[in-house]
A and B are shown apart, each in its own frame.
Chain A
Amino acid sequence: MSALLQVNNIRRAFRTTLAIDDVSFDVQPGELLGLIGPNGAGKSTLFNLIAGVLPSTSGQIIFDGKRVTGWKSHDIARIGVGRTFQIPKPYRQLSVVENVMLSAFLREKSLAGARRLAEATLVDVGLTDYIEAPASSLSVGLLKRLEVARALAMGPKLVLFDEIVAGLTPTEVGAMTKFVAALPSRGITVIWVEHVLYAIMKTATRMLVINRGKLIAEGAPAAIARHPAVVKAYLGEEMDIA
């Protein structure tokens, strides 16, 4: 099976600082890849490189057989990469359903069709009661769900989730985790950045750990929880994920 996403020796410098330093990894279709690391490790930068928001300084990215290095973010979105923003970026003057319709337009050109798709997606993420609400009226927790709905309404092959459960109540975290865990069975490959470790360690099929722009560990969640380098850089102590 060929990889859905290949990241080869990618580098990104901000002036003299290497935010991402020679990172390579593959993502197979149907994986739920967890990406963790301390604050400032370069997780969001890596997402921005894959999504085309930032150009890479060197290296290449191949998605779905296409060499997408240097592509603009809207072109990458069109070939099936959805993403959420760590700090939600809703269209504030539009309603919740209109926010999602804008993503659904990638699959459905008509307004009525896009609306049906958007409504179905909103029911899916548990925003049924807020379909007609103005996006500006949503709380942080609900905005995170809106971010997820927008990424999924595009009908993506790969989604990049950036801290979608941070700031949620334990019940909400549980519901969202269960929801994300089910995505690969619907044909959606996931890369998930998260600081809420018990959520991601339970769900991910494989973990990547980065620190100071470098990949420091890779493997099954159980192995990562005891990995010496990860413990030193991030966890502080070995983690019990049972």
Chain B
Amino acid sequence: MSVEFRPTRISMLPKRGQISWFEILSLSISILLIIPGIAPNFQDVILLSFLFGGLALAWNISGGYAGLISFGHSAFFGVGAYTSTILLVNYGVSPWIGVWIGALFSAVLGSVLALICARLRGPFFILSTLAFAEVVRIGALNWSSLTGGPEGLSIMPTPLLTNMVFASKTTYAALMLTYLVLVYFVTKSLEASRFGYYLLAIRDNEDAASAAGVNPLAGKTAALALSAALTGVGGSLFAQYFLYLDPTYMISPELSFQFALLPAVGGLGTAVGPVLGSFLITPLSELLRSHLGNAAAGLHLVIYSFSLVIVMLYFPTGVAGALNRVSHWRPFS
């Protein structure tokens, strides 16, 4: 009698469009991490890893699935942050509402970027996104009456639920984890949808996609709008945590590179990749900065860059790609 192999209903390692034990376990650990007292010295690093995990996932929707490598996502991050903050500071609108208005503005800006630049291919598109964000940054710097210009904007630090300002880092950590889970859920739903397949087709071969009835420009525009909206939400949350924002940091190329880097390290076009990338890189960059930042100026950047080169050389498909190889590893066959 032969033994029939039956695959379990939930697989161990992540699969496109399905939930795996790996993801359930990761979520459980993440929830444990925000319980007060479990990791008191690392709360900053943990909540930033959540936030940047969500931002990396948001970037990955257009960059990983639709193949639109953007170095201009800090523009959406900034527009989201400025919208909710200006609404709160000048008009007393609660950030719980402002976040979504910011997301809407970011989405509109994302569509504009797509309609102008998505016809460009490869490096030309990438350069145009970089220039696009610079235009937004310079605009924000000079429109002082609205944005406060180079002096930036501050949110009053009094803890108040309706203002989305909290006294405890635990609450912020829970907020950031909620954001991460939201973007993760959007990503997984995308993977299991027709629209998600359209994006993969556009990324892999635009001509073939068009021959199959897929409108490449419409697909790219929708992907960038969705990605920009979710990035805008992350920007608002960032502003609510640091209570201060200025164009030079919020809409910087460095930040744009960071959004692109985390999915690249973790695994482009996968759902777990950007989250793993964030949990690898965000703590590394934060810890290096806090431990080496004063001792030897710039040394943390050298170590940081060197680690990146190692990852890019030996894990070109990212951490998620390495995980995938492990799942196909059959040492005894």
Contact = CB atoms under 8 A, between A and B. Distances in A.
A210 interface: no
A89 B212 contact: no
B209 A102 contact: yes
A103 B207 CA distance: 13
Interface in A103-127: 103, 105-106, 109, 111, 114
Contacts of A151: 211
Interface in B187-230: 192-194, 197-198, 200-201, 203-205, 207-216
A73 B208 CA distance: 10
A154 interface: yes
Contacts of B209: 74, 91, 102
A71 B195 CA distance: 22
28 contacts: A53-B211, A72-B210, A74-B209, A74-B210, A74-B212, A74-B213, A74-B215, A74-B216, A75-B215, A77-B210, A78-B213, A85-B208, A85-B211, A89-B207, A90-B204, A90-B205, A91-B205, A93-B200, A93-B204, A93-B269, A94-B204, A102-B214, A105-B197, A111-B192, A111-B193, A111-B194, A114-B194, A150-B212
B208 A105 contact: no
Nearest to B268: A93
Minimum-distance CB pairs A-B, first 5: A91-B204, A77-B213, A89-B208, A103-B212, A73-B210
Given A73-B211, A77-B210, A91 B200 contact: yes
B212 A154 contact: yes
A230 interface: no
Interface string B45-75: 0000000000000000000000000000000
Contacts of B194: 105, 109, 111, 114
Nearest to A81: B211
A101 B197 contact: yes
A31 interface: no
A75 B212 CA distance: 9
Contacts of A90: 204-205, 208
Contact of A85 (B192, B200, B204, B207): B207
Interface of A: 51, 53, 72-75, 77-78, 82-83, 85, 89-94, 98, 101-103, 105-106, 109, 111, 114, 150-151, 154
B297 to A, nearest CB: 42
Contacts of A89: 205, 207-208
Contacts of A106: 212-213
Interface of B is mostly: helix
A16 to B, nearest CB: 26
A101 B201 CA distance: 11
Interface size class of B (residues with CB under 8 A): 20 to 34
B328 to A, nearest CB: 12
Contacts of B208: 85, 89-91, 150
B212 A77 contact: yes
Given A91-B204, A105-B212, 16 more contacts: A73-B207, A73-B210, A73-B211, A74-B211, A77-B213, A85-B208, A90-B204, A90-B208, A91-B200, A93-B269, A102-B201, A102-B212, A106-B212, A111-B197, A114-B194, A154-B212
Contacts of A72: 210, 215
A117 to B, nearest CB: 13
A98 B209 CA distance: 12
A102 B210 contact: no
Contacts of B269: 93
Nearest to A52: B210
A127 B150 CA distance: 62
Given A92-B204, A111-B192, A83 B197 contact: no
A150 B210 CA distance: 12
Contacts of B201: 91, 94, 102
A242 B77 CA distance: 70
A74 B204 contact: no
A102 B211 CA distance: 10
Nearest to B193: A111
A73 B198 CA distance: 15
B244 to A, nearest CB: 42
A221 B196 CA distance: 46
A105 B200 CA distance: 14
Contacts of B211: 51, 53, 73-74, 77, 82-83, 85, 150-151
A162 B193 CA distance: 31
A74 to B, nearest CB: 5
Nearest to B208: A89
Contacts of B214: 74, 102
A98 B197 contact: yes
Contacts of A114: 194
Contacts of B215: 72, 74-75
Contacts of A82: 211
A89 B209 CA distance: 9
A1 to B, nearest CB: 27
